[in-house]
Structure 1
């Protein structure tokens, strides 16, 4: 992993990764912790969906089925980043839809060269030309979604030849000297592949630096609840990650457990929040309700004054260490109704969907399995969430 990072990464990309993401990210997380101790709140970082547009139609995608797709204005995006930097946070996750369909994207990356961006992409548009533009920016690393083999990927992603196109995207990114990650949303249809040594070795062979495991969360027009993992399967995934961290040549990342193996929710901790393409501030991408909009007032004031976000954080901590959408969707529907939060899904039926959705297991349902690797334990407890060091 270190050999790949030090000798095959573009020099500019490596510098930006170490300084913008590493050093400034750690300082930003420290400031976040100090704010919490003073009873103040502003997230350590933001997930920002810049557009609802996408060229695929994935199972469990939160932007599918909207009555009208939204695209964040460049002015809104610039203001969000600028106001977040003023609080000492310089790391951003850029999502969609497919963010490579957002035309002002590279102008934003260049303007905010003092920040670091993680680009969540399905990879189908990551051509050699796009990879070169990312390399020239230096402050972006692509996180490429990888949802299954030739058969599973097309079903999961609602497209054609998605597996081959994703493989090519990985090659384009690594050949350009980019720090490249792969994300897989683990569900019943891809569990065996996700846990296989062959899958992990194939990523090592392609020059991938890190692998980010998600647990499939049922949301959106095509929620497909039957794909959710059961408790035993969640334990298998957790044990796999703990063991892999002791021997894999990949950096193994998750967003669900702390160093002691306890479940965590970034939204409940206040570590991160999601701003959707319409400008609504959501607790996370799958909780599609909001009481606040970025155009209402400055972000600092929103996070100071939002009873919805403050009270949801407190209630989630008491309810579960897992995902409330999965473990008690009916409770969530009642909570957002109590606070008059708007349905920010763009489908106008999210509360009804939650009330009809069966409860399923999440990472909060599994066995507590502590980290074995001391470095990962230290990073999870002392570093920031960004590329998984905390989560």
Structure 2
């Protein structure tokens, strides 16, 4: 647990800590509620006023209403995702293990007109949250120009951080409606190996400092694998993020995908169980929001794409179930999103059939079955490498978050948020 600063004499602090520990024996929820109060105070103190307002209203209020509209649409038989994840470019300044974008025949970049139209069509259905991915989205030059047109939306920017300079952070602060989610892949040694770059860990730390110094709602993401699990579950690491005023820490498990899938990094079943238990426990130990997108409030596995909560649009305009399932039958250049979701037999079939197979990740647990589904519904390889089916047929099976014993959420805030507002937001992985 991070150090706790309480005003008063040493004897006063000791007495208060003793009283709190005694209370926790009888009211276990007290600890996480107390931690939540500390977290809220810290965020309120260190966040730019405009950024805070946009986060509370655009993300919180409008996001919850968007999710309610999504649920209502489902009841009425009108499917349209609660939110979209959009890859705006395939370009990136790094070359990471397990990246689904690298080694394409030709990199794509979404036109600003197409990106703007996707946002407008989604807003027309009452949804205002978007995840912006790449490649590295900060290499996409029209990005800020497009985001500026939509002050009524909220954007989560998935970035490796190496291009998040103080100047970029200031631009994001002026927008107010963007939260950078900065990816950590390991310590000084592991990060360079995972990302095939130089001095990546230091540059990532600097990105976090640039973002928080600008008063941004800043998140850190970790794709937990064998080489970085010790860091991911390290109290020292989490406390270092809290000291830098990071608002949330987002965990997801490593998916062995792409041309360099590096399957040996995938977690084993007992390691996934350990990660899940750690996350639930950590929510009541650290004054930072601990986010995950792959388990529901009761600890059961969850696939956001299979539930239809989110779908992914890649830089070529193909509408995919999620970023790691790189097959598609429709493209946004051919028809509107509303018509795509009304007419897509492929997407509907996956939403219906994946839950029958697993509550985890089908690309990890049964990749050959996925290939059969793409062949049955004439879905094209949208990876840009033209060999995704062959890769999946040869891929060994690995455990996913659907395995293991359920670990329910302990705090009512997390249970409520996951049940009513989908706190995990459908993270990619």
TM range (shorter): over 0.9
* CA apart distance, 1:310: 0.5
Check conservation: 2:73, 2:79, Cα contact below 8 A: yes
Task: Give distance in 2, aligned partners of 1:388 and 1:379.
Answer: 13
* CA apart distance, 1:210: 0.2
Classify the secondary structure of the residue corresponding to 2:402: helix
Identify unmatched segments of 5+ residues in structure 1.
none
TM-score, with structure 1 as normaliser: 0.98
- After TM superposition, the structure 1 = structure 2 runs for residues 263-302 of structure 1, keeping only pairs within 5 Å, are 263-302=301-340
1:378 paired residue among 402, 416, 419: 416
1:17 paired residue among 48, 55, 67: 55
TM-score, with structure 2 as normaliser: 0.90
Check conservation: 1:253, 1:388, Cα contact below 8 A: no
Alignment partner of 1:307 is 2:307:
no
Alignment partner of 1:194 is 2:222:
no
Count of matched residue pairs: 389
RMSD across aligned positions (CA): 1.0
* CA apart distance, 1:354: 0.2
Instruction: Give a deviation string over 1:79-103, Cα, whole Å, max 9, x none.
Output: 0000000000000000000000000
Alignment partner of 1:91 is 2:134:
no
Instruction: Give a deviation string over 1:150-204, Cα, whole Å, max 9, x none.
Output: 0000011110000000000000000000000000000000011101111110100
Instruction: Give a deviation string over 1:261-286, Cα, whole Å, max 9, x none.
Output: 00000000000000000000000000
Identify unmatched segments of 5+ residues in structure 2.
1-38
* CA apart distance, 1:338: 1.1
* CA apart distance, 1:385: 4.3
* CA apart distance, 1:384: 3.2
Instruction: Report which of the two structures shows the higher radius of gyration computed on alpha carbons.
Output: 2
Classify the secondary structure of the residue corresponding to 1:364: coil
Check conservation: 1:91, 1:386, Cα contact below 8 A: no
- After TM superposition, the structure 1 = structure 2 runs for residues 229-244 of structure 1, keeping only pairs within 5 Å, are 229-244=267-282
Alignment partner of 1:154 is 2:182:
no
Partner of 1:259: 297
Task: Give distance in 1, aligned partners of 2:424 and 2:60.
Answer: 9
- After TM superposition, the structure 1 = structure 2 runs for residues 313-332 of structure 1, keeping only pairs within 5 Å, are 313-332=351-370
Check conservation: 1:116, 1:140, Cα contact below 8 A: yes
Deviates more, 1:377-386 or 1:177-186: 377-386
- After TM superposition, the structure 1 = structure 2 runs for residues 61-210 of structure 1, keeping only pairs within 5 Å, are 61-210=99-248
Task: Give distance in 1, aligned partners of 2:149 and 2:286.
Answer: 36
Partner of 1:361: 399
Runs of 4+ in 1 over 6 A off after TM superposition: none
* CA apart distance, 1:7: 1.4
Task: Give distance in 1, aligned partners of 2:335 and 2:145.
Answer: 25
* CA apart distance, 1:386: 5.9
